[in-house]
């Protein structure tokens, strides 16, 4: 969870017996893999133990018997003890540029939120488009899309910036949890949440595990994914989804209030109260534009995007917009540093040991058919809807991304299509449930929407996203030369 969660949202903490039970399940996963499943002859014993450690870590991220960072740190330690890695190799993920890219982007996002610039951007969209309930939804979705271009934490931008504004607008019209939820709040909670799942899929920095997918594509399959290439790939299908989804949700969960001139007036009052751009906001705006500009043009000047992000963070520190105390207190970033760097290295080690390729080969033998197209269609549906069993996009991606890409590539499918499809669809699938990614319980816990309605809307929107990204998206990617 992120610290920007509204105080009215309660977070459930597992009891001690539940934590012990979950820990036992995690240990059981390791035991079943290592001693219960026959080891393929092509895999060395230490690499098979590493497989058990990795899968147990994924189970731990799903069940959370302890914080994710603690579990991954333990997994890294065990990898050096019994998984065939040296301690230098096991800790190698913490020196990976992708990990530091995410860290630097978190620091920039903190400055955007701390100075009020992120909130100002959202209010500007609401003031411009917020005269109807549908317009408010589009305004908040476009705000999240803009912030997703550089803020890799969907919890920070969606839960910390978008959600408080959404709740305030709902309450202006007397829409609160309970009998008045249907006035406006229920529609906004469901439509905006479904939209932020799309914005997460649209950008390299749309969600913390997107750079991880890009890193897996590069290290295990030799396929380069850049900020610019992801931006171009996600732009057209993403905008189509953002245009259609609020209309679909409006049909399934119609608001009783359709005209919302007070929302625009609220945004105007809030912007007036904020006053002119502060010194900090001006500096952050300059850094934001410079970093995004250098990311877009990286194919021309060849400056690594991690260097660009670190330069942006350095500029904020040098100008005093960020203090070193701010950097040290960015708990979400340091938590991600531990589990992200650790899992990145473990996943890479499995690829180097041939575990991913061997598993994909075995699945391919079972699913061998007339060609890659029907296999891809079936695999994509399985990959998408298995997210009902995941409470984390990262856990979903780590458990299945490399295997499915390897499986389809081994059957002759275009590598670029597989890389982008499985990366983007992992984000889109988070809309299925009220626990699919970190912001989902934040939105759901405001209690504007029943569980049944949330799941029905999630399934209906999933069909829309599958149709749009498979038809429009795949066609667009063909035009871009991705496949």
**pLDDT per position as a tens digit, 285-322:** 999 899 988 988 887 888 888 899 899 999 999 999 99
DSSP state of 132: B
Instruction: Give me the residue spans of the domains in the chain.
Output: 36-480
Q: Please report which confidence band the pLDDT of residue 62 belongs to, taking 50, 70 and 90 as the band edges.
A: confident
What is residue 132's predicted lDDT score, i.e. its pLDDT?
A: 94
User: What percent of the chain is predicted at pLDDT more than 70?
Assistant: 95
Both tokens of residue 183?
């006035």
**pLDDT per position as a tens digit, 102-140:** 888 889 888 988 999 989 998 999 999 989 999 999 999
Residues in the chain: 483
Mean predicted confidence (pLDDT) in 250-267: 93
76-83 contact pairs (CB < 8 A, 24+): 76/342, 76/345, 76/346, 78/53, 79/50, 79/53, 79/345, 79/346, 79/349, 82/46, 82/49, 82/53, 83/46, 83/47, 83/49, 83/50, 83/53, 83/349
Question: How many other CB atoms are found less than 10 A from the CB of residue 141?
Answer: 26
Q: Please report which confidence band the pLDDT of residue 13 belongs to, taking 50, 70 and 90 as the band edges.
A: low
Q: Please report which confidence band the pLDDT of residue 169 belongs to, taking 50, 70 and 90 as the band edges.
A: very high
- Least confident window among 156-160, 216-220, 321-325: 156-160
Mean predicted confidence (pLDDT) in 351-356: 83
DSSP state of 451: H
Q: Please report which confidence band the pLDDT of residue 437 belongs to, taking 50, 70 and 90 as the band edges.
A: confident
In order of 22, 59, 77, 241, 364, the CA distances from 66 in angstroms are 9, 11, 16, 36, 35
What is residue 369's predicted lDDT score, i.e. its pLDDT?
A: 65
Mean predicted confidence (pLDDT) in 221-242: 96
- Asked if pLDDT for residue 436 goes beyond 50, the answer is yes
pTM for this predicted structure = 0.82
More reliable by pLDDT, 92 or 10: 92
Q: Which residue has the tokens 């014993």?
A: 45
Cα–Cα distance, 136 to 246 (Å, whole number): 10
Question: How many other CB atoms are found less than 10 A from the CB of residue 358?
Answer: 18
Instruction: Give the phi and the psi of residue 279 in degrees, each rounded to 5.
Output: -55, -45
């Amino acid at each position: 969870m992120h610290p920007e969660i509204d105080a009215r949202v309660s977070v459930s903490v597992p009891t001690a017996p539940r934590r012990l039970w979950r820990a036992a399940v995690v240990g059981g996963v390791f035991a079943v893999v290592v001693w219960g499943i026959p080891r393929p002859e092509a895999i060395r014993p230490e690499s098979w133990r590493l497989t058990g450690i990795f899968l147990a870590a994924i189970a731990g991220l799903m069940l959370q018997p302890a914080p994710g960072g603690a579990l991954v740190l333990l997994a890294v330690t065990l990898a050096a003890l019994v998984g065939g890695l040296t301690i230098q190799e096991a800790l190698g993920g913490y020196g990976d540029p992708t990990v530091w890219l995410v860290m630097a982007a978190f620091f920039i996002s903190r400055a955007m939120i701390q100075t009020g610039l992120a909130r100002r951007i959202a209010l500007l969209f609401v003031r411009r488009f917020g005269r109807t309930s549908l317009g408010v939804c589009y305004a908040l979705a476009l705000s999240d899309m803009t912030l997703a271009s550089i803020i890799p934490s969907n919890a920070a931008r969606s839960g910390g910036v978008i959600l408080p504004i959404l709740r305030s607008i709902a309450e202006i019209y007397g829409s609160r949890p309970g009998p008045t939820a249907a006035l406006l709040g229920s529609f906004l909670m469901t439509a905006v949440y479904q939209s932020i799942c799309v914005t997460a899929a649209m950008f390299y920095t749309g969600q913390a595990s997107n750079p991880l997918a890009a890193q897996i594509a590069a290290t295990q399959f030799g396929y380069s994914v850049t900020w610019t290439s992801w931006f171009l790939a996600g732009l057209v299908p993403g905008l189509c989804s953002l245009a259609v989804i609020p209309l679909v949700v409006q049909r399934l969960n119609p608001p009783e209030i359709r005209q919302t001139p007070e929302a625009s007036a609220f945004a105007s009052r809030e912007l007036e109260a904020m006053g002119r751009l502060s010194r900090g906001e001006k500096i952050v705006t300059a850094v934001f534009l410079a970093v995004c500009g250098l990311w877009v043009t990286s194919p021309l000047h060849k400056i690594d995007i991690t260097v660009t992000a670190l330069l942006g963070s350095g500029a904020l520190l040098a100008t005093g917009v960020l203090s070193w105390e701010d950097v040290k207190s960015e708990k979400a970033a340091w938590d991600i540093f531990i589990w992200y760097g650790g899992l990145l290295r473990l996943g890479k080690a499995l690829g180097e040991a041939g575990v991913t390729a061997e598993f994909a080969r075995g699945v391919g033998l079972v699913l061998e058919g007339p060609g890659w197209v029907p296999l891809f269609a079936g695999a994509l549906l399985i990959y998408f809807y298995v997210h009902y069993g995941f409470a984390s996009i990262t856990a979903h991606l780590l458990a299945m991304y490399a295997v499915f890409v390897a499986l389809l590539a081994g059957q002759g499918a275009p590598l670029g299509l597989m890389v982008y499809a499985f990366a983007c669809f992992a984000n889109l699938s988070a809309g299925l449930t009220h626990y699919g990614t970190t912001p989902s319980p934040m939105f759901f816990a405001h209690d504007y929407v029943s569980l049944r309605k949330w799941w029905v809307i999630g399934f209906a929107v999933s069909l829309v996203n599958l149709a749009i990204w498979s038809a429009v998206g795949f066609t667009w990617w063909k035009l871009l030369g991705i496949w």
